[in-house]
Amino acid sequence: MKIALGADHAGFVDKDRIARMLRDSGHEIMDYGTHDATPVDYPQYGYAVGEAVASGQAERGIVVCGSSLGIAMAANKVPGVRCAPVAEPLSAELARRHNDANVLAVSERLTGWEMLERLVQVFLATPFDGGRHAHRVEQLFEFGDAQRSRTLRDIERGTVSGAETPKEML
């Protein structure tokens, strides 16, 4: 699989370990840096990995920063990206099965290497379940003007309307 990697100065050590591990198991790695401990701004690395995945140059992306949070927020700004910050394997599995996550965000400062290794393996090996999850995932990319008006109307009314899953999709 073609996998894009990116990290800031608080994540590059684990990013490099992930790169080695994935190359050893036959994956093709696109490494957008950073490559040393010089402080850098995590959004730039989240955007680069996000664009590589959204444009189809990479099939999946993995981003690492101190907490996993900032770089995940950045990756999720790129249209087409579904980035999940994850710290335990069940969330990594559900991010794939239910949300079709195409970018994984992990934390170098809060997550030990053995757990991190497992998160990456689960993220890469787990398929998307599709079915009832598919149209929900599609809605994640419908947050344009029409969706905003609908949501603002819901807020005015004080309740969310029309959110039922169609019967044929259950």
Q: For residue 73, what are its two tokens?
A: 């927020």
- Alpha helix ranges (H) inside the chain: 12-24, 42-54, 69-75, 89-97, 113-125, 132-139, 145-157
Task: For residue 10, state whether it binds ligand RB5 (rule: CB under 6 A).
Answer: yes
- Give the side-chain half-sphere CA count within 13 A for 13: 10
Q: Tell me if residue 98 is catalytic.
A: yes
Site string for ligand RB5, 28-47 (x = CB under 6 A): --------------x-----
From 9, 35, 83, 98, the catalytic residue: 98
Residues present in the chain in total: 170
Cβ proximity to ligand RB5, 71 vs 101, nearer residue: 71
CB of 41 to ligand RB5, least distance (A): 9
Q: How far is it, in rounded angstroms, from Cα 63 to Cα 67?
A: 11
Of residues 51 through 110, those in contact with ligand RB5 by CB under 6 A are: 65-67, 69-70
- The encoded tokens of residue 123 equal 């993220």
Residue 83 annotated in active site: no
Instruction: Provide, rounded to whole angstroms, the least separation between the CB of residue 128 and ligand RB5.
Output: 27
Measured distance CA(54)–CA(71) in Å, rounded: 16
Provide the minimum distance between the beta carbon of 70 and ligand RB5 in the complex, in angstroms, as a whole number: 2
Residue 11 Cβ, how far from ligand RB5 at the closest point, in Å?
A: 6
Phi, psi angle pair for 62, to nearest 5°:
-135, 130
Q: Which is nearer to ligand RB5, 12 or 123 (CB)?
A: 12
Residues that contact ligand RB5, how many (by CB under 6 A): 8
Tokens of 22: 């994935």
Cα gap 74→44, rounded to integer Å = 8
Whichever of 41 and 142 has its CB closer to ligand RB5, that residue is 41
- Indicate which residues carry an active-site annotation: 65, 98
Task: List interacting residues with ligand RB5 (CB under 6 A).
Answer: 8, 10, 42, 65-67, 69-70
